Chain A
Amino acid sequence: MQAQTQSRKLQLNSSMARWSQLPKDLLLLVAQRLNTHFDLLCLRSVCSSWHACVPSRPHPLPSRFPILPTNGTSWGLYLSRRTILCLGLPESHCQPTIGSWLIKVEEDVPDMAHLVNPLSTFQFKHLPPNFPKTFDFSRFRVSELGQEYVLQYMNHRPSGEADEGSLHKGKVAFYSTSNGEDFVMLTIHVSGKLAMFRHGNKRLKTIDDMPSCDDLIFFNGEFYAIDNTGRTVVVAIGSPPVLSLIADSVIGGNKKSLVESNGELLMVNTYFDQGIHGIMNRAVRFKVFKLNQIGHMWVEVENLGDRILFLGEKSTFSAVASEFCGCDGNCIYYTNSFFFPNDQEDDAYTGIGIFNLENGNLGPLSSFPNYSKVIWPPPAWVYIDNIGDI
């Protein structure tokens, strides 16, 4: 009996050992199908031969790189990239009471990162006292949910002009080739028009055919833009760029957002309630649509099922509710510059609300502990030193 189990163990061991000998070109075929930085990092961390075969970064673009201004003034802009991640425990340690943690990281200098609120630009400056000094990603399951690109001023911010802070407040959609040699950036200009910047350009070029643009997204290899009526186009990059209509306008609603969910492109229509003086826009309800490409129209989606949509200030993304303990799907996290009455200044949850598609209820994130703890504070398992065996 012992001999049998012994030989079976040997068999298992030898068959398992073979994977580390997988020929390099075949391992690369597998690696090609893993396209996020963290998946590739994970592959590299498995064994010696895989570490040697798999390239380290999908693209060498730094987290920040300069973009020139449009009108030749002395100040410059740079683009900073942040990654939205869902961190979880390995399966062996999963329990019904343990949920994943949603974070957004920005890597300033190599090996030094910032934690940013996934929905806003609020940086978590005061990390909890026993937060690990070095955070080991290899202990966790890491899924990349999206990337966020933000235009910021390089050094000196010109003073005096009322509008200059909002010149490039708009969303940015970005694409670069895997070797970083070429890139394209699309943004919403202060005039509401689309503007494009390509590698090698000297200035941003505005695209006139799409005024009052509400949102942009890079989805399925193409740039999509939507205006405040819901009219949606695909922007084909070229000189000049060509816009093709993908969907006609919808009726009603104030602000349109584009978000990817489960491989599909969705549109969220935000309905505002004009405040007392008509200045502060408060979101009162949301409708979700999916694209009917053949009919060129947005079709309403009544139920998101297990999915949750996140409409951040500078990016949108989605996740599966079952990742998070105590959360149901079919809801939307959104940002609203209208402060909820019980918001604290500079709180982790400031300006973030959550909307339930099923019953139409909404409220500040701070009122929903199951949903707020998805973002902050860090869950208990982050602090535990030794998860599992090595």
Chain B
Amino acid sequence: MASSKIITLRSSEGEDFGLDVVAAMELLVIKPMIEELQVIKPMIDNAIPLPNVTSKILAKVIEYCKKHVETPKAEEHAVNDELKAWDADFVKVDQATLFDLILAANYLGIMSLLDLTCQTVADMIKEMSGNEICEIHLLIKERSLEKICKIYNIKTKLTLQSSDGMFFYVDVAVAMESQTIKHMIEDRCADNAIPLPNVTSKILARVIEYCKKHVETPKAEEHAVNDELRAWDADFVKVDQATLFDLILAANYLEIKSLLDLTCQTVADMIRGKTPEEIRKTFLRKHDFTPEEEEEVRRENQWAFE
């Protein structure tokens, strides 16, 4: 039928947008719905809800689809060049909107838009300052875009080198749990492998494991999630005292506050309520007091009762 049917798309805020059927077929996720609709009695009056897409983004997406449907994929370079220029303008938006477009393109199955937006981000990162790179990676982490970025070779990982020469390939968001590494990224010292001369591979592996877990777990309102993380932390510090010592030093050097708090608290808990002799047995060999110090310690500990 020649008449152009209009599909109604509803944004997450409940706003309705009309889109020509042909243009709507660009949205792969909608395509099967439309094909079904043509068989079943038209339910064209009902809007298709898109709960993951805001009005602002939906409007842009529709704009994109319309343009691309209107412009024939011609043999002539001139037309394609014009479309390319239009695309370049289309993605001149703020970072947050760009990332929302990536998410929407992925969700709605608009492959050409996904290609366009991801390539734009990949190109942007090459030109960015260290601070901007940190911000971008936080946005990627926030919107869970690591997988997509991987496909488009958007650099989301960096290399850390331990004191004993081992290389660790980690997500930038995970590495940024360390303030020390974050500053290096900001100062653009992270383009090559970051050397960590104070941390052995054994300890670095553990620290990375800690940071990964903490980055992956959202700090939720629900106590259940936080309780689970606390339980994981409690397990994490069940190590021998030599490893615990190294973890404290590493947490301090890498400036990972939550790990430093956790390890210091663990040591305090191990010490509380024990005698000095018991503490020595756990952590040290013998005391090394000079005779004067020994006398002072004796005086502090000995009380006379009347």
Contacts and interface: CB of A to CB of B under 8 A. Distances in A.
B138 to A, nearest CB: 28
A29 B285 contact: no
Contacts, number: 138
Interface string B269-285: 00111111111100111
A346 to B, nearest CB: 17
Contacts of B284: 16-17, 19-20, 46-47
A45 B241 CA distance: 19
B276 A138 contact: yes
Instruction: Bin chain B's interface residue count.
Output: 35 or more
Nearest to A91: B278
Interface in A129-157: 131, 133-143
Contacts of A19: 241, 245, 283-284
A26 B252 contact: yes
B293 A141 contact: no
Nearest to A144: B273
A15 B280 contact: no
B128 interface: no
Interface string A348-390: 0000000000000000000000000000000000000000111
A30 B268 contact: yes
A51 B297 contact: yes
Contact of A90 (B265, B277, B288, B296): B277
B229 interface: no
A138 B278 contact: no
A51 B276 CA distance: 11
A16 B305 contact: no
A49 B108 CA distance: 64
A127 B280 contact: no
A291 B289 CA distance: 48
Interface string A71-111: 00000000000000000001110000000000001010001
B289 A30 contact: no
A291 B70 CA distance: 68
Contact of B304 (A29, A135, A388): A135
A43 B271 contact: yes
A379 to B, nearest CB: 15
Given A29-B260, A48-B288, A105 B303 contact: yes
B47 interface: no
Q: Select the residue from B285, B289, B298 with max chain A CB neighbours within 10 A.
A: B285
A31 B267 CA distance: 9
A114 B202 CA distance: 52
A42 B271 contact: yes
B293 A18 contact: no
B188 to A, nearest CB: 29
A41 interface: yes
B245 A56 contact: no
A51 B289 contact: yes
Contacts of A26: 248-249, 252, 264
B302 interface: yes
Contacts of B248: 22, 26
A134 B302 contact: yes
A19 B270 CA distance: 14
B277 A112 contact: no
**Listed residue (B241, B249, B271, B298) with the most chain A CB atoms within 10 angstroms of its CB:** B271
A313 interface: no
Interface residues of A, dominant DSSP = mixed
A42 B275 contact: yes
Contact of A136 (B278, B280, B302): B302
A98 to B, nearest CB: 15
A196 interface: no
A33 B271 CA distance: 10
A139 B297 CA distance: 12
A155 to B, nearest CB: 20
B288 A30 contact: no
A205 interface: no
Contacts of B92: none
Given A16-B285, A33-B268, A111-B303, A48 B293 contact: yes
B297 A44 contact: yes
Contacts of A29: 260, 264
Nearest to A29: B264
A13 interface: yes
A37 B273 CA distance: 11
A380 B276 CA distance: 21
Contact of A141 (B241, B274, B289): B274
Given A26-B252, A135-B302, A135-B304, A45 B260 contact: no
A131 B283 contact: no
A140 B275 contact: yes
Nearest to A39: B272
B300 interface: yes
A131 B272 contact: no
A30 B267 contact: yes
Interface in A24-64: 26, 29-34, 39, 41-48, 51, 56
Interface of B: 241-242, 245, 248-249, 252, 260, 264-265, 267-268, 271-280, 283-285, 287-290, 293, 296-306
Given A26-B248, A42-B274, A140-B275, 6 more contacts: A44-B300, A45-B297, A48-B288, A114-B305, A135-B303, A136-B301
8 contacts: A13-B285, A19-B241, A19-B283, A26-B252, A39-B271, A47-B284, A112-B305, A137-B302
